[in-house]
Chains A and B, each alone.
Chain A
Amino acid sequence: MTMTSIRIDGRDCPTRSGINLLQACLEAGASLPYFCWHPELGSVGACRQCAIRQFSGPDDTKGRIVMACMTPVSENTIISIDDPEARDFRASIIEWMMVNHPHDCPVCEEGGECHLQDMTVMTGHNARRYRFTKRTHRNQDLGPFVKHEMNRCIACYRCVRFYRDYAGGDDLTVFASHDNVYFGRAEDGTLQNAFSGNLVEICPTGVFTDKPFSAVYSRKWDMRGAPSVCVHCAVGCNTIANAREETLRRVLNRYNTDVNRYLLCDRGRFGHGFVNAPTRIRTPLRTIDGQQVPVPMADALTAFARMAARGRVVGIASPRAALETCFSLHALVGPQHFCTGQTRQEHECVELAHALLDRHPGALPTMHEMESADAVLVLGEDVCATAPRLGLSLRQSVRQASFHTADDARVPRWMDAAVRTLGAECPSGLYVLTPAPTDLDGVAAETLRAAPDDIARLGFAIAHEIDPAAPAVTDLAPDDVLLAARIAHTLVAAGKPLVVSGMQYGAPALMQAAASIVAALARATPEAGLSLGLPECNSMGLAMMGGMPLETVMEQARAGEISTLVITENDLTRHLSPADVAELVAAVADIVVIDHTATPLCQQASLVLPVAAFSECSGTLVSQEGRAQRFFQAVFPPAPIQAGWRWVQALARGLDPSLLHMAGLTGWRDLDDVLAAMAVAFPRLAPAAKAAPGADYRMNGQKLRSQTYRASGRTVIRSFVNVRDQPPPGSPDAPFSSSMEGAFGPDMPAALVSGYQASPWNSVQALNRFQHEIGGDMRGGASGIRLLSRTASDEAGPRPYAYATDIPTPHTAQADTVVVLPDTRLFGSEELSMHSPSIMARATAPALGLPAGMATSRHMVLHLDDGAHVLPVEPVPGLPAGIVLCPAHMVARAFRFPRVARLERIPDEGERS
Chain B
Amino acid sequence: MTPPTERPLTAMIDPAAGPPDCAAYERAGGWQATRNALGRLAPAGIIDMVTRSKLRGRGGAGFGTGQKWSFVPKEPAADRRKYLIANADEMEPGTFKDRLLLEGNPLQLIEGMILAAYGVQAGHGVIFLRGEYHLACARLHHAIGEAREKGWLGENILGSGFSFDIRVHSSAGRYICGEETALLTALEGRRATPRSKPPFPQTGGLWGAPSVVNNVETLCNLPHIITNGPEWFAGLGLGEDGGTKIYGVSGRVVKPGAWELPIGTPLRQIIEDHAGGMRPGYRLRALLPGGASTAFLDATAIDVAMDYGSVEKAGSRLGTGMAIILDDRTCPIGMIRNLEHFFAQESCGWCTPCRDGLPWVERLLDAIENGSGQEEDMDQLGRHARMLGAPGRTFCAHAPGAMAPLASGLKLFAADFAAHIQQGRCPQQPGA
A417 CB-CB contact with B under 8 Å: yes
Residues of B within 8 Å of A51, CB to CB, are 393
CA–CA, A566 and B301, complex, Å: 97
What is the distance, in angstroms, from B406's C-beta to the closest C-beta of chain A?
16
CA–CA, A181 and B350, complex, Å: 9
CA–CA, A212 and B356, complex, Å: 33
User: 1/0 contact trace for B185-199 toward A, CB 8 Å?
Assistant: 000100100011111
Number of A residues whose C-beta is below 8 Å from B?
45
Residues of A within 8 Å of B349, CB to CB, are 155, 174, 176-181
Residues of B within 8 Å of A89, CB to CB, are 387, 393
- Measured CB to CB, the residues of B under 8 A from A are 174, 188, 191, 195-199, 203-204, 207-209, 344-353, 355-360, 363, 367, 376, 380, 383, 387, 390, 392-395
Please tell me if the beta carbons of B196 and A48 are within 8 angstroms of each other in the complex: no
Please tell me if the beta carbons of A48 and B352 are within 8 angstroms of each other in the complex: yes
CA–CA, A422 and B346, complex, Å: 27
Pick from B352, B353, B387 the residue with the most CB of A within 10 Å: B352
Please tell me if the beta carbons of B195 and A424 are within 8 angstroms of each other in the complex: no
Known A-B contacts: A180-B349, A409-B204, A422-B208. Give 5 more (CB < 8 A).
Answer: A92-B383, A155-B352, A179-B349, A411-B199, A415-B196
CA–CA, A108 and B204, complex, Å: 43
User: 1/0 contact trace for A409-441 toward B, CB 8 Å?
Assistant: 111000101100111111000000000000000
| CB-nearest residue of chain A to B347 | A178
User: 1/0 contact trace for A152-181 toward B, CB 8 Å?
Assistant: 001101000000000000000010111111
CA–CA, A750 and B248, complex, Å: 68
Residues of A within 8 Å of B367, CB to CB, are 132
Please tell me if the beta carbons of B344 and A178 are within 8 angstroms of each other in the complex: yes
A100 CB-CB contact with B under 8 Å: yes
Residues of A within 8 Å of B348, CB to CB, are 177-178
Q: A181-B349, A421-B195 are in contact. Are A66 and B208 (CB under 8 A)?
A: no
CA–CA, A409 and B198, complex, Å: 8
CA–CA, A178 and B344, complex, Å: 7
Please tell me if the beta carbons of B353 and A409 are within 8 angstroms of each other in the complex: no
| CB-nearest residue of chain B to A178 | B347
| CB-nearest residue of chain A to B379 | A129
Residues of A within 8 Å of B195, CB to CB, are 417-418, 421
Which of A39-47, A482-490, A697-705 lines the interface with chain B?
A39-47
| CB-nearest residue of chain A to B188 | A424
A99 CB-CB contact with B under 8 Å: yes
Q: A92-B387, A181-B349 are in contact. Are A48 and B174 (CB under 8 A)?
A: no
Please tell me if the beta carbons of B346 and A178 are within 8 angstroms of each other in the complex: yes
- Measured CB to CB, the residues of A under 8 A from B are 44-49, 51, 64-67, 70, 89, 92-93, 96-97, 99-100, 129-130, 132, 154-155, 157, 174, 176-181, 405, 409-411, 415, 417-418, 421-426
Please tell me if the beta carbons of B196 and A129 are within 8 angstroms of each other in the complex: no
What is the distance, in angstroms, from B361's C-beta to the closest C-beta of chain A?
11
| CB-nearest residue of chain B to A130 | B360
Please tell me if the beta carbons of A100 and B356 are within 8 angstroms of each other in the complex: yes
Residues of B within 8 Å of A92, CB to CB, are 353, 383, 387
| CB-nearest residue of chain A to B395 | A45
Please tell me if the beta carbons of A179 and B208 are within 8 angstroms of each other in the complex: no
Please tell me if the beta carbons of A65 and B352 are within 8 angstroms of each other in the complex: no
CA–CA, A409 and B345, complex, Å: 35
- Set B174, B198, B395: member contacting A418, Cβ < 8 A: B198
| CB-nearest residue of chain B to A51 | B393
Please tell me if the beta carbons of B196 and A179 are within 8 angstroms of each other in the complex: no
Please tell me if the beta carbons of A48 and B393 are within 8 angstroms of each other in the complex: yes
The 3 lowest CB-CB distance pairs between A and B, nearest first, are A96-B356, A424-B208, A181-B349
Please tell me if the beta carbons of A178 and B355 are within 8 angstroms of each other in the complex: yes
CA–CA, A47 and B352, complex, Å: 5
List 20 A-B pairs, Cβ < 8 Å. Answer: A64-B392, A70-B196, A89-B393, A96-B353, A96-B355, A132-B360, A132-B363, A154-B352, A155-B355, A157-B350, A179-B355, A181-B355, A405-B208, A409-B204, A410-B198, A411-B198, A418-B204, A421-B208, A422-B204, A425-B208
Residues of B within 8 Å of A178, CB to CB, are 344-349, 355, 358-359
CA–CA, A652 and B293, complex, Å: 84
Residues of A within 8 Å of B359, CB to CB, are 99, 178-179
Please tell me if the beta carbons of B351 and A45 are within 8 angstroms of each other in the complex: yes
Please tell me if the beta carbons of B351 and A97 are within 8 angstroms of each other in the complex: no
Q: A51-B393, A132-B363, A177-B174 are in contact. Are A425 and B356 (CB under 8 A)?
A: no
CA–CA, A129 and B378, complex, Å: 12
| CB-nearest residue of chain B to A67 | B392
Residues of B within 8 Å of A46, CB to CB, are 350-352, 395
| CB-nearest residue of chain B to A98 | B356
| CB-nearest residue of chain A to B348 | A177
| CB-nearest residue of chain A to B377 | A131
Residues of B within 8 Å of A132, CB to CB, are 360, 363, 367
Residues of A within 8 Å of B346, CB to CB, are 177-178
Please tell me if the beta carbons of A96 and B393 are within 8 angstroms of each other in the complex: no
Q: A174-B191, A411-B199, A422-B199 are in contact. Are A47 and B351 (CB under 8 A)?
A: yes
What is the distance, in angstroms, from A469's C-beta to the closest C-beta of chain B?
40
CA–CA, A417 and B380, complex, Å: 33
Residues of A within 8 Å of B347, CB to CB, are 177-179
What is the distance, in angstroms, from A20's C-beta to the closest C-beta of chain B?
12
What is the distance, in angstroms, from A851's C-beta to the closest C-beta of chain B?
33
Residues of A within 8 Å of B390, CB to CB, are 65
Residues of A within 8 Å of B209, CB to CB, are 425
- Set B197, B358, B395: member contacting A48, Cβ < 8 A: B395
What is the distance, in angstroms, from B261's C-beta to the closest C-beta of chain A?
37
Residues of B within 8 Å of A423, CB to CB, are 208
